[in-house]
Chain A
């Protein structure tokens, strides 16, 4: 399977604990996105990377959240001191861009199956 891979699929944690999720994008994709989806809602943008550079962070990404993509391949999303309101599905997506057209090429976002976080 050469799609976007996320690990773990499910995570149950107690309030106050730290959690880390991993995303492996499609190998030739240089852009990687994190989204959060709560029950009954559409995905909400959190942050995205162009290779290893984090180019944008949403206001939803509080200082308890940190994302990295150290070698421009896989990415991690860490949540410190989890709260019950952090319970959600965390989705990762990737796409390729062509430097020549400055990212305007319509390569669509390909999503992984997500990590479902439950904070008790």
Chain B
């Protein structure tokens, strides 16, 4: 079945790098996404990676994909207090209408 797992909490100091990890089970995933959710708000798309790529970099964000191990990570360089939020990993399964399966979210806390 389809399942996406994330660790629940991560705490870092301002200026450090944050690495948020995610594992998924469905090998037919086509795209994998990272969304950010601030309190009381909807989900903001941060970045995504196609399943035949290993890495994608977008400014402070680096996504690494290990398709063999079904492991996805999001690295945030120079983490700022404004990065404190819940980060969701999501997979898009092929031929399922574009719907996404989400993990339970990782709460990132950035301490000054």
Chain B interface residues (CB < 8 Å from chain A): 4, 30-31, 33, 35, 40-45, 48, 50, 88, 90, 92, 94, 96-105
Contact = CB atoms under 8 A, between A and B. Distances in A.
B42 A114 contact: yes
Interface string A88-103: 0001010101000001
Contact of B100 (A40, A103, A109): A109
Interface residues of A, number: 29
A40 B99 contact: no
Contacts of A45: 99-101
Given A106-B48, A108-B48, A42 B97 contact: no
B106 to A, nearest CB: 10
A106 B31 CA distance: 8
Contacts of A109: 45, 98, 100
A25 interface: no
A48 B97 contact: yes
B43 A91 contact: yes
Nearest to A103: B98
Contact of B33 (A40, A91, A108): A108
